[in-house]
Amino acid sequence: MKKIFLAAAVMAATSLWARVSLDQKIGQMLMIGFHGTSAPQNSQICKDIGKYHIGAVILFDYNPVDKSKAKNIASKQQLSRLTAELQKCSYDRKLLIAVDQEGGKVQRLKSRYGFYGHFPKASEVKYLHQKQIKKTYVKMAKELKSVGINFDLAPVVDLDINPKNHVIHGLGRSFGKNPKKVAAYAGTFIDAMHQYGVLTSLKHFPGHGSSMGDTHKGFVDVTHLWKRSELEPYRLLNKKADTVMVAHVFNKRLDPKYPASLSEKTVDGLLRKQLGFHGVVITDDMQMGAISKKYSLKQRLKLAVNAGDDMLIFGNQLDPRHTVSSAILVETVKSLVENGEIRERRIDNAYRRIQKLKNKL
């Protein structure tokens, strides 16, 4: 009886996927940033979500075009309205609506918009009692949920092993040097988010704590500073993690040719096959200088999808002169599939994993 039920379920899922166009499968793989504090039906982002089945959006408070105006987040009431509008644009009402909310310097829901805004950074959290840590992250999850955010691009599981690293160490974004303790704190964070139905992402694989540079700005080589212990939190949390975010760091010891986010050896080989993570893999922002200065948009898309990345972030945040439309992204990936430069099974595998992730909501 159980086998018959399973066979029927597989047939139903296969039939459902067969009705989904290639454009829409590709759309599910995109996390898009946009300008606007509302998303009415005639807005470009709403049209794109509806037409291409865009899988996720990423929200920011800082507006790089006009500092006097909010990009997406201005107040509690406004944000609740925006997320509700965005969900209405979505075909399945399971649009992933993401923010970077770690605590410390990295928290998009600030007090000046009416939010709590004083969540401690990771380097301070580790000095709190376990009950306080849980209470802190439950409060954060509750606040995210209250305004319709269902995806937090956190926690950071980078190890604090380079005191000269200003991106992780300098901003206090790491829970410490000990991988077991880092995994334990991150596990508490994830449990708290799950209590309120908020998905999470471990970052930045395969480790950004040893780096000297900033991938936002340019090429970052961690070959000689990186330690294998940086992989340990991912191994310890591979069953608990919803998603893993891959960094754009270059490590010759892992792949002599490509940075992590564009490397099949790193994503499909190391993260999936060696460390046993089978959930959704997300890239860091695909517009970061570390890869955008070296690879064209077409090259980035081709390499990222073939590497095994399931979801690609285009925040349209870092350089207002170089924003990219959903249509261009979908059409470019589609042409790469049709030309045989991207294996279609990569799209199907990503689509399957993303649907499984969204079913957790």
Closest CA relative to residue 30, chosen from 99, 90, 96:
96
How many CB atoms lie under 10 A from the CB of residue 15?
9
Burial tier of 37 (Cβ tally within 10 Å: 0-12, 13-18, 19+): middle
Closest CA relative to residue 199, chosen from 81, 28, 354:
354
Strand order in the sheet with 312-314: 280-283, 243-246, 199-205, 151-152, 96-99, 56-58, 30-33, 312-314
Helix axes 44-52, 326-338, angle to 10 degrees: 30
- DSSP codes joined into one string, 311-342: BEEE-S-S-GGG---HHHHHHHHHHHHHTTSS
At 79, the amino acid letter reads: L
Please tell me the distance from the alpha carbon of residue 352 to that of residue 310, in angstroms, as a whole number: 9
Tokens matching residue 132: 């306080």
Tokens matching residue 246: 């891959």
Residues catalogued as catalytic = 216, 284
| Beta carbons of 154 and 102 less than 8 angstroms apart | yes
Tokens matching residue 47: 């049209």
Closest CA relative to residue 213, chosen from 203, 202, 225:
225
Tokens matching residue 11: 């047939």
Please tell me the distance from the alpha carbon of residue 9 to that of residue 252, in angstroms, as a whole number: 43
Alpha helices in 90-212 (DSSP H): 122-125, 130-146, 179-195
Q: How far is CA 311 from the centre of its chain?
A: 7
H/E stretch holding 32: strand 30-33
